[in-house]
């Protein structure tokens, strides 16, 4: 489970693991699309939510909501109470997609019409709980920002952030690919440390700083 981009990644892993490469390509294309706009996602007439919805419709299988039941936890912020809510029971594929969009929804940046689920409006889950943890079992945390996460950069190498998400329209494709390679390397370090991946370390990807220009 997770919030914002973490929720999107978790949804793909749970329901469409065979489309990981395709998902990465979608992210690259979305970045290209936004970078072409004079004001990025804030360009009048551009609809970030529509592009994200198209991506999710293309990737998630028809029975994604059934597969996700009790396995995928999407962190949402209630727009009225500002409190965090976790959604794991999805009544339809459309509701699952709406929940994922809501978990990424930054007002104004993503639009002005807030996502609605069962009559309640929601916004980015990261605003109330960016890294959900569960009471039972072990929660494996993943973050490009927090050096204390199970999977993430070493302390001192955390992504410099001025906000809680990567503003993709300010990142070129090469930088996005470097983020991907660093994430894969960090995941490998965790698996080796836990004794779950008995191979030699792969070379450290080329040195590109974790950073955000937001």
What are the residue numbers of the active site? 4, 124
Q: How many CB atoms lie within 10 A of CB 23?
A: 21
Q: How many angstroms separate the Cα of 18 from the Cα of each of 4, 14, 29, 60, 189?
A: 21, 10, 19, 10, 23
Residues sharing a CB contact under 8 Å with residue 118, sequence separation 6 or more, in sequence order: 95
Contact 30, 55 (CB under 8 A): yes
The tokens for 119 are 């009559």
CA distance 126 to 122: 11
Residues sharing a CB contact under 8 Å with residue 192, sequence separation 6 or more, in sequence order: 198, 199, 201
Residues sharing a CB contact under 8 Å with residue 50, sequence separation 6 or more, in sequence order: none
């Amino acid at each position: 489970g997770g919030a914002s981009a973490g929720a999107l990644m978790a949804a793909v892993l749970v329901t469409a693991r065979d489309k990981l490469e395709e998902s990465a390509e979608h992210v690259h294309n979305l970045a290209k699309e936004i970078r072409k706009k004079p004001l990025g996602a804030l360009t009048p007439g551009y609809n970030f939510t529509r592009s994200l919805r198209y991506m999710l419709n293309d990737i998630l299988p028809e029975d994604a909501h059934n597969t996700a039941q009790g396995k995928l936890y999407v962190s949402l912020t209630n727009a009225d109470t500002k409190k965090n809510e976790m959604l794991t029971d999805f009544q339809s594929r459309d509701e699952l997609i709406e929940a994922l969009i809501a978990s990424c929804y930054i007002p104004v940046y993503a639009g002005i019409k807030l996502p609605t689920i069962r009559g309640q409006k929601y916004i980015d889950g990261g605003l109330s709980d960016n890294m959900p943890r569960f009471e039972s079992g072990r929660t494996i945390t993943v973050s490009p920002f927090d050096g204390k996460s199970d999977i993430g950069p070493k302390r001192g190498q955390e992504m410099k952030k001025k906000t809680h998400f990567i503003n993709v329209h300010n990142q070129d494709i090469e930088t996005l690919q470097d983020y991907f390679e660093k994430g894969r390397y960090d995941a490998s370090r965790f698996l080796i440390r836990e004794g779950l991946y008995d191979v030699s370390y792969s070379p450290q990807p080329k040195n590109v700083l974790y950073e955000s220009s937001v």
